A and B are shown apart, each in its own frame.
Chain A
Amino acid sequence: MLPVNRKGETAKEDFLVEMHMESKISDAKTHRPVVLFFLTMVFNTVIAVFLTFFGFREDFVVNLIFSQCIGLSICVLVTIAHWFFGNLSPLMRMFLFTAALILGSVAGTLLGMTITGVDTSLFFEKNVSFVHVVSLGIVFGSIISYFFFSRHRISMTERRAEEERIRRITSEKKAVETELRLLQAQIEPHFLFNTLSNILSLLDTDLKKGQTMLIDLIHYLRTSLKKTREDITTIGKEMEMIRAYLNIFRVRMEDRLNYRIDMPDSIKELPFPPMLVQPLVENAIKHGLEPKIEGGEVWIHGVEDGEVLRLEIADTGVGMYKRGASGLGLSNIRERLKSLYGDKGRLILEENRPSGLKAIIEVPHARD
C-alpha cells in the first residue's frame, strides 16, 4: 500500500502548481490597469497630433487636453462597465459599453471645457463644434476599446488554454495513480498468503474443501485482474466475484463470518463499473469483522429506487472508530464515481444498527 499521506501530498502538489499559475496571472492583473492607462494616454496624444495636423481647432495644447480628458474618461467608464459584464447577455454588454462610451465622451468634453476655461453651459446650447468633439470621442473610443477588448480576449484565451493543460496533466496523473492503487488493492499480500496457507493445509486434511477454495481463489484473481483493464462489467458478474471472495473468507473464518448477497434478478444484467464494491467488502471484513472476536455478518443487497440504483454493503463489525487508514480506498471509490457519474454517483457511509458500518453506493439506474 502507498503511504497514507500520499493523497495529501498530491493535493498539495496540485495546489502548488495552481498557486504558481495564479501568481503569474495576478501579476498580470495588477499591472493591467497601469498599462491600460498608459496606452490610452499614448493613443490620446496620437489623436491630438492627428487632429492638429488636419487643422481641427488649430491649437495642439487644447486638442491634447480634450483628447486626454475624453480618452481617459471613456477608459475609466468602460473599465467600470467591464467589471459588471459578469453573466450579462451580449446585448446588455453592448448596451452598457455604448452607454459608457457616450457618457465618457460627454463627461470628457465637459472636463476639457472646464480645464481650458470655456463656459460649460455653452455645451448645452446648439454649439455644433462641441457635438463634433463628442462624436469624435465616440469614434476613436470605439476603435481603441476594440483594440483593448481583443487584447484582453487573447490573454484570456491563452490563460484558459494554460489552465486546461494543467488540468489535463493533473487528471492524467490521477488516472494512473488510481490504476496503480487498484492493482495493489487486489493482490493484498496478507490475503494471498493466508489463503494459500489454508489451501496448503487443506491438501492434507480435506482435499475437497481445498480444491473448492483454490477454485474460488482462481476465480477471484482472474476476474479482479482482468477487470482493471475493462471499463464495465455487470452487477451479476461482479457479485459472482464477491461471492468467491467471501467464500474464501468463510473457510478461513468459519462461523465468525456469515454473509448474504441479495440482488433482484432485474438488476443482474445491468452494467456496472468493476472493483467498486470489492474494496468495500474488503473493508467490512478487514476492518470490521476480523478485529471482532465473535465475528459477524456481511450483507450486500441491491435496491432499485426510481431513478437510483443503490448497493448497500453492511457489516456488524467493530464500526468506524477503530478503522484508521481505510479512507484511502474510499476516496479512490469516490473519485471513480465522480468521474463516471458526476454528481449522480455517490458513496455514503452510515453507522449500521445495532453495530458496524454501512457503505452505500448510489448510481443512476441504467434502464434500457
Chain B
Amino acid sequence: MQEIKAIIADDEKQLRSHLKSMLSKVWPDLIICGEARNGREALELIEKHRPDIAFLDIRMPGLSGMEVAGKVAGSCWVVFVTAYDQYAIEAFENEAIDYLLKPVTRERLEKTARRLKEQIDSYTKPPVDFSEIVNKLIVNLQDMETPGYLQWLKVQKRDGIRLIPVDEVYYFKASDKYTMVITKEGESLIRKPIKDLADELDPDKFWRVHRGTIVNAGCISEVSRSLTGRSVIRLKDLPETLTVSRSYVHLFKQM
C-alpha cells in the first residue's frame, strides 16, 4: 500500500499539535507533511506536497477553510475542523465531506480515519463535484455573516476619520453631489450622492420620503398632516420636521 500524506491547517498552534499527536496515535502510518497557520499557507502546502488529506480549520485568517477546500476540490480529501458552526455542520451531514468538532476526541478521530481509509481504498480520486457543495456552503455562510447593507459611514472630522454606524443616523439630506448626514451629535457631509446611498441602505430601516431625503424609520416620532395637506414627519429628539413628497406618501398610507 502506498504512503498516505496529510496536512493540518489551523491558526492556533496548540490545536495543530494536538491534532497531530492524536493522529499519530490513531493512524500511525499517516504522514503529516506540513502544518499551515492560515488559509494561504494551507493552499501553498497542498499545491507543493499534493497530500491525500487536508485537515482544515474553518475560521482562519487569509482564506477560510471553506475557501481553501473550494480551490483544491478534486485534488485531496477534506476534513473540516471547527469549534462551533452549527449551521455548517448540518450542511455537512450526508455529504462527501467529513468534519471534526473541537475539542477533537479520540473516538471521533478513529471514525474519521476509518472513513478516510475506506474512501481512499475504493476511489482513485476524491470527488471533484464537492467544490460545488463547498461553494454553496460559502455563499450560505456569507449570507449569515454579512447583512449586505451599508453599516458604516466614514466621515472626515478635524481630528481624524470618524466612523458612524448607519443606525445612528436620523436622516440624510441631499446636498448637490454630497449628502448631509444628520445624527444626534450634528451634521456631517459625505462624498456620495443620495441616489447611490439609497441603494446601499437597508430599505426596511431607511425610508426615502422625498427625492432629497432618506429618513431612519426608527427615529420618526410622528407623522401628521400639515394645513396644505402634506405629510410632515416629526423626529425623536430633533426639532426639525421633514416633508413627505407626494410620490412617497404611500409609505404611510396603510397604517
Q: Which stretch from A216-224, A273-281, A287-295 is at the chain B interface?
A: A287-295
B163 touches A193 (CB 8 A): no
B165 touches A201 (CB 8 A): no
Q: CB of B114 within 8 A of chain A? A: no
Distance between Cα atoms of A292 and B59 in the complex (Å)? 12
Contact mask for chain A residues 173-216; partner B; CB cutoff 8 A; 1 contact, 0 none: 00000000000000001101110111011101100000000000
Interface: A251 (CB within 8 A): yes
State whether A23 touches B145 (Cβ < 8 A). no
Find chain A residues with CB under 8 A from B95 CB.
none
Query: Are B225 and A26 touching (Cβ within 8 A)?
Result: yes
Q: Indicate whether B199 reaches chain A with its CB closer than 8 angstroms.
A: no
Q: Do the beta carbons of A325 and B59 come within 8 Å of each other?
A: no
Q: Are B147 and A324 in contact (CB under 8 A)?
A: yes
Which of A19, A189, A200, A350 is within 8 Å of B163, CB to CB? A350
- Residue of A254, A293, A331 near B13 (CB, 8 A) is A254
User: Known: A325-B146, A330-B165. Contact between A14 and B218, CB under 8 A?
Assistant: yes
Cross-chain contact B14 with A350 (CB below 8 angstroms): no
Looking at chain A's contact residues, the main secondary structure is helix
**B150-183 Cβ-contact flags toward A at 8 Å (1 or 0):** 0110100000111111111000000000000000
Contact between chains at A197 and B40 (CB < 8 Å): no
Out of A18, A201, A331, which one reaches B15, CB within 8 Å? A201
B73 in the interface, Cβ–Cβ < 8 Å?
no
Rounded to whole Å, the gap between the CB of A21 and the closest CB of chain B is 9
Task: Verify B255–A20 contact, CB threshold 8 A.
Answer: yes
User: Does B221 sit at the interface, judged by CB under 8 A?
Assistant: yes
* Contact status A350-B61, CB under 8 Å: no
Residues of A within 8 A of B223 (CB): 19, 22
**Beta-carbon contact of A16 and B102 below 8 Å:** no
Residue A117 CB within 8 A of the other chain: no
Q: Which residues does chain B contribute within 8 Å of A291, judged by CB atoms?
A: 61
Is B67 an interface residue, CB under 8 A from the partner? no
B205 at the interface (CB under 8 A from A): yes
Is B138 part of the binding interface, using a Cβ–Cβ cutoff of 8 Å?
Answer: no
Against A, the Cβ 8 Å flags (1 = close, 0 = not) of B226-255 are 000000000000000000000000001001
Contact B12 A252 (CB under 8 A): yes
B84 near A4 (CB under 8 angstroms)? Answer: no
| B97 CB-CB contact with A under 8 Å | no
User: Are A204 and B21 in contact (CB-based, < 8 A)?
Assistant: yes
Q: Does B62 contact A (CB under 8 A)?
A: yes
> Known interface pairs A15-B217, A204-B21. Does A325 touch B145 (Cβ–Cβ under 8 Å)?
yes
Bound-state Cα–Cα, A320 to B155, Å: 13
The reply to whether A11 and B12 contact each other, CB–CB distance below 8 Å, is no
Residues of the B chain whose Cβ atoms lie less than 8 Å from the Cβ of A18: 220-222
Residue from the list A26, A204, A253, A293 in contact with B12, Cβ < 8 A: A253
Q: Which residues of B contact A324 (CB under 8 A)?
A: 145-147, 151
A-B contact pairs, 7 of them (CB 8 A): A15-B218, A16-B255, A193-B83, A197-B15, A197-B83, A204-B18, A254-B13
